[in-house]
Amino acid sequence: MKQINSQSNISATVIWLILVALTLATWRIGEAGMVGKSAMLLLLFIAMIKSQMVANYFMALRHTRLIWRGIMFGYFVIVGGLIALAYLRSLA
């Protein structure tokens, strides 16, 4: 029992560090003033990956039924997809 918990603490720490790194990357890209299709898609992708990590690891949805992760993943696809679509339209 103890061991499982310390394991999940370690994985939470790893996730936390990844999230911090991705946040700093996002900030750097913003400061560098990168624009255009690929920068937009990259940033959006990073944001959505981060949110999925929070859902799966912090909210611990990866241990739950598929439907709950499905809802979160659906959010990723629909909200992320629609935002991307709107931005691509403005670039076209």
**Binds another protein (CB under 8 A): choice among 8, 37, 70, 77:** 8
Binding residues with another protein: total (CB under 8 A): 52
List the interface residues with another protein, window 21-50 (CB under 8 A): 23-24, 26-27, 29-31, 35, 39-40, 43-44, 46-48, 50
Place of tokens 């799966």: 56
Place of tokens 């370690």: 10
Q: Which two tokens stand for residue 10?
A: 């370690």
Q: How far is the CB of 82 from another protein (least distance, A)?
A: 5
Q: Measured between alpha carbons, how far is 67 from 72 in angstroms, rounded to an integer?
A: 9
